[in-house]
Amino acid sequence: MLGVFVLMVMSDGERRFFKKRSVWMEMTFKALVLAFCLGTAGLISLKAAEPKPIFELSFDGGADAVLAGGQGQPLKAENLSYADGVRGKSVYLSKDSFLEYAAEGNLKQERGTVSLWFKPKWDIRNMIRDQGTYWHCLFSEPFPKVEKGRDSRIGSGAFWLWFWGPYLRGDAADVNDSFICSAFRELPQDSWTHIAFTWDIEKGTCLYMNGISIESSNIGDDSPFLSKGGPDYSALKNKFASFFVGSQDRGSKADGLIDDFRIYDKVLTQNEIFDEIKSEERAAGKALLPSFTVTLRRYYCLEGEPAEIKWTVKSICGRLPSGVFSWRIEDPFGATIAAEKGQNGELGSDGNRDFIAKIKPGTPGECRLVVDSGVGMAASVPIWVFGKENPYLKKPGTKLELKLLETIEPAKGLPSSRFVSTGSCVKGSLGGSDYLEAGSNQHDRFAIKVELPEADVPYLIEWDYPDDKIRTIEMTGQQSISVNDFGLQTGVFCGDEYPLSMKTLTHRSIFWAGSKEAAFIFMTIRRGAPAAVSQLRIYSIVGGLPDAGVSEPKPVNGWTRSIGFHFEDPAMGSDFGVPNQFMPFYEKHLDRLIAYMKWSGQNMLAYPAVWYQGRIGSSYLPRPHPEDYMGCILTKFEANGLYFMPAINIHNIKVEGVALNEKTIADGSLHDTPIMILSDGKPNPGGWHGTPPNFNPLHPVTQAYLSAQIDELLDRCAGSPSFKGVVMHLTMHTFPWFGSLKAGYNDYNIEAFEKDTGIVVPVKRDDPARGKLYYEWLMANAKEAWINWRCQRISAFYRTIAAKMAARRPDLKLSLCSYNPTISDLRDDPRYGQEDYVALINRESGLDPKFYADTPNIILSQTSYPADYRWSGTVWTDPLSTNARAAIRDAHFKQESYALLKDASFPWINMHDRYWEENIGANSPLRAGWLNETAWRVSTLNPNVNSFLESFILPLLYADVMGFTKGGYLVGTCGVEEKLAEFSRAYRALPAEKFSDLRLNSKVLKARFLKADDGTWLYALNASYEPASISFVLDKREGLVMDLAGKQEVKMDGMLLKVDLKPLQLRSFKLPRGVTIMSAE
């Protein structure tokens, strides 16, 4: 009787569904029985509230739907085949398949859920970005036709469930183009994965993989949260005639098996999704997925070294309150190297339970941790064991061994099968060497094709160029048929701010070849400064890159002097020729990075851990990285004696309960929230780089967020000796400081200022425009007090962070790295270039060195921009920019440029490589059958080989700098690495301790010394372009004076130590104990 009644109240479609196999029937049957017992009214109410499927594809008898609210037959079904499914059959949607259904009655646009099972034919670990096989779509609606100049998908409301390489992603095409995207998750080819995507016109979207919610930070880089008033899913009201299963229209094919595809009429909760999975398991008579997750604390270890492996078991949806847990760790060959059986016990109140194992792995490769709860399916996660040998690195004391493959002289001419150009190329000559010169117009260029003996190995690319006039030469190396190959994007400056030698100079770069066919492109990147090449030589590298052989002294408080990379952008994956950034390929990437660092004399890496929208990891992955990439870096660095400092470069956070819209902006109600109020009385209208921060750095919410990020980094990294602290990237737009005097006019700040200083700001607190009035009054009446208070309050927060770090480990340091001033942000400031401008802008932003003099574990780092003078000349020509550009031409020669370092306990210089960023390869590519030019350039150009060290030597002239970092986006190919290694051998041989100046009657020479128990350390430098010498008079001749870079004895004339210095050279020495320097001249 009950069964008859249930069938009576169902629609015709539901009756068909009831008669077919369906796990939804099991999910809802008990609820229907309960509702019937409560009466018909209860049943009707329940039917309105409970989600139900309105479209289902079982694929057991073909592609027709077994349940459909509309047309059940496909509109188009092409090249389908079938294979065993979760139970019954599944459909294989190949690269040639196509499957389309009518949307009417089968899909509710305003809200709903799509769920399915998927098994790929492709290897998720072998995904290479920007190749045609990178996108695999599972479900989508037709994108509107693209209009010229814009992507009309955005704002259309078209659903798109797909794999972006290894990342599962769900898009609803709202006006903000928000989306949910997973981090890297294993997607086995031999078992099924359950995927669900939900949408709601009022609440947005959710994405699930194997019943686990994917939490994703999906606001864009320019923060639509601020610019467009928050989430807006109104586009979901738009209707579409059809939808696709296994593709996005005719592209992005799933290339895998799909089974039990369902569309529900409402949003399923996580519990309901997990119910569907478990019901499917019961129907299949086997476990399909674990009921718990396994999260490792450490994914990486070294061969032959003891390792402690910790992991946490967490119940999914509370479905596993207890179990009889067993685990084992298998080596790469499947042999068990550690195991434990039968641990009874309940999970904690939070559904978690922690485990620990100690291993000493003997074989590099992928080990597996397998955990079994005794109920259902076991879970398995990888543990990676790194080898100790680096195939790209040779031992110290060896030489770079090269084999010449080809010498090319472009001026002699090349056939069209190897040469293509745009613009007018001309021939020239310098000192008997002929050269080919590109045209003088920006983007005039020529390309040369080269055949290489093998791919995926390093080559040395050497090219000669005339240093005879102003030249701004970009040189890129790529695969001839490129898929956006950023393998080599470099270049040089000649003339203008750098003295001409009137000689032919040489640039040498490492090129990690992606294929056997390569192209090298030489481009005029600034009008009137033409590119030119006299000879191009291609060498293979035999045996790897030799370690520079730096001899470091004993660390001081855990530190030696450092030279290293910095990345503003988490784009290390674009360097070193490893396009796949997941394990096991990431180990090759790190081996190449480490070999390059040691060859060029570098020992430090600063790399983003928290970037524009949050902590890089499972909920935010702006660039490809493996799981726990910082642990991966630290493990490799520990084995190689290198240092790592994760960086925080944060723009936005999500703030609960704050509505940012026209009303709240106009009524002044945002003042007590974390949102920053600017000098116009309003928040940032949606700007990005070069605008003040979006959030108030003094608000408890923002400070709690930053403090939590520090805590997490300490928890993750402090156990590694390679971890040396955290870098705060302080650009104008980052909110760990004010960034500008135009920011910070919240009630919250004003009231704290009044309380701390006793200065009353006479502005009505109910005036909606009071932020603007605060600014005007303070600038007119208390500007200096206001600036000083802001700096003091910012410093109080940073000193608290520094104390927390020191408490965790005494050697850890907090680096405050100011990116101000930069011409790209401040070119319209008429004060740009005045003598005290650097100190002035840093203080206006919230950074005053006087508040850090008593905090030894805070690094003060000043960023310089060696390429800005050249770069800005190609971008702006207005009067203010021209004035600013003239001011920065020789700014690095002025002591005031390093004002931040004057009283710093640990001064640092950060050189930011300005990206020469443009898409000329897409807009106006070179045309040749053998060339597909990389579309986007992000090139790093440097001073020529004679001038490269100027940016290192000049800061050291004015301050005893403890560290240098250099980089930005594409690094690892500056072209003068051997010059850098020469500097590093002298610089890093000195203790990381403040030296004292020796008096010299010179503006370009500097000598400093440090008297220690075991002798006297000494260094001398020449900051000019002419050779020079310094003579040191010693009080006695006793023992040996050692040249630290050359590791050899220095000959003396009596008690006179004469140090000859080449242009832009640093030399360092160690004097015997008891010997005193009397004078220097």
CATH entry, 996-1080, from 3.40.50.300, 2.60.40.1120, 2.60.40.1180, 3.40.1010.10:
2.60.40.1180
Quick one: pLDDT at residue 953? 97
Task: Tell me if 51-284 shares its fold with 996-1080.
Answer: no
Q: Work out the pLDDT band at 128, boundaries 50, 70, 90.
A: low
Quick one: pLDDT at residue 660? 81
Q: What is the pLDDT of residues 51-104, one digit of tens each?
A: 999 999 999 989 999 999 999 999 999 999 999 999 899 999 999 999 999 999
Lowest mean pLDDT among 44-48, 202-206, 674-678: 44-48
Give residue limits of the domains in the chain.
1-50, 51-284, 292-386, 674-812, 996-1080
350/25 Cα distance (integer angstroms): 31
588/590 Cα distance (integer angstroms): 5
Closest CA to 603 of 556, 647, 559: 559
Q: Work out the pLDDT band at 35, boundaries 50, 70, 90.
A: very low
Does the pLDDT of residue 791 top 80, yes or no?
yes
CATH code of the domain occupying 51-284: 2.60.120.200
Say which residue the tokens 């907090």 belong to: 814
419/522 Cα distance (integer angstroms): 11
Say which residue the tokens 């962070």 belong to: 801
Q: What is the pLDDT of residues 869-915, one digit of tens each?
A: 988 887 777 777 888 888 888 888 889 999 999 889 999 999 999 88
> How many of the other CB atoms lie within 10 Å of CB of 116?
25
Q: What are phi and psi of 537, to 5 degrees?
A: -125, 135
Quick one: pLDDT at residue 150? 54
Q: Work out the pLDDT band at 186, boundaries 50, 70, 90.
A: confident
Q: What are phi and psi of 233, to 5 degrees?
A: -105, 25
Quick one: pLDDT at residue 703? 97
150/316 Cα distance (integer angstroms): 42
Quick one: pLDDT at residue 133? 72
Q: What is the pLDDT of residues 295-312, one digit of tens each?
A: 998 899 999 999 999 999
- Selection from 105-109, 483-487, 933-937 with the highest mean pLDDT: 105-109
Q: Work out the pLDDT band at 216, boundaries 50, 70, 90.
A: low
Quick one: pLDDT at residue 325? 86
Quick one: pLDDT at residue 129? 61
Does the pLDDT of residue 724 top 60, yes or no?
yes
Quick one: pLDDT at residue 18? 38
- The three-state secondary structure class of 675 is strand
Lowest mean pLDDT among 278-287, 509-518, 693-702, 750-759: 278-287
Quick one: pLDDT at residue 221? 45
Q: What is the pLDDT of residues 597-646, one digit of tens each?
A: 999 999 999 999 999 989 998 778 888 888 899 999 999 999 999 999 99
Q: Work out the pLDDT band at 230, boundaries 50, 70, 90.
A: low
- The three-state secondary structure class of 491 is strand
Q: Work out the pLDDT band at 974, boundaries 50, 70, 90.
A: confident
Mean pLDDT value across residues 648-667: 88
Mean pLDDT value across residues 907-932: 93
Q: Work out the pLDDT band at 119, boundaries 50, 70, 90.
A: very high
Pairing of strands 256-264, 433-437: unpaired
> How many of the other CB atoms lie within 10 Å of CB of 229?
18
695/864 Cα distance (integer angstroms): 26
Q: Does 968 or 984 have the greater pLDDT score?
A: 984
Q: Work out the pLDDT band at 14, boundaries 50, 70, 90.
A: very low
Residue type for position 1004: V
Closest CA to 392 of 591, 108, 228, 205: 591
428/944 Cα distance (integer angstroms): 19
Mean pLDDT value across residues 267-287: 91
Architecture of domain 292-386: Sandwich (2.60)
Quick one: pLDDT at residue 597? 96
Mean pLDDT value across residues 979-992: 97
Average pLDDT across the chain, whole number: 89
| Pure H helices in 934-1019 | 950-958, 977-987
Quick one: pLDDT at residue 882? 82
135/248 Cα distance (integer angstroms): 9
212/200 Cα distance (integer angstroms): 19
Mean pLDDT value across residues 480-506: 92
395/153 Cα distance (integer angstroms): 54
Q: What is the pLDDT of residues 796-828, one digit of tens each?
A: 999 999 999 999 999 999 999 999 999 889 888
Q: What is the dihedral of CA 957, 960, 962, 967, to 10 degrees?
A: -20
- The CA-based angle 157-159-162, given to 5 degrees, is 145
Tokens read off for 713: 């980094």
69/53 Cα distance (integer angstroms): 9
Quick one: pLDDT at residue 10? 40
Quick one: pLDDT at residue 759? 98
Quick one: pLDDT at residue 486? 85
Does the pLDDT of residue 541 top 80, yes or no?
yes
Mean pLDDT value across residues 251-258: 94
Quick one: pLDDT at residue 903? 87
Q: What is the pLDDT of residues 545-582, one digit of tens each?
A: 999 999 999 999 999 999 999 999 999 888 898 888 88
Quick one: pLDDT at residue 33? 39
716/298 Cα distance (integer angstroms): 9
This prediction has a pTM of: 0.91
Tokens read off for 248: 């996005």
Does the pLDDT of residue 38 top 60, yes or no?
no
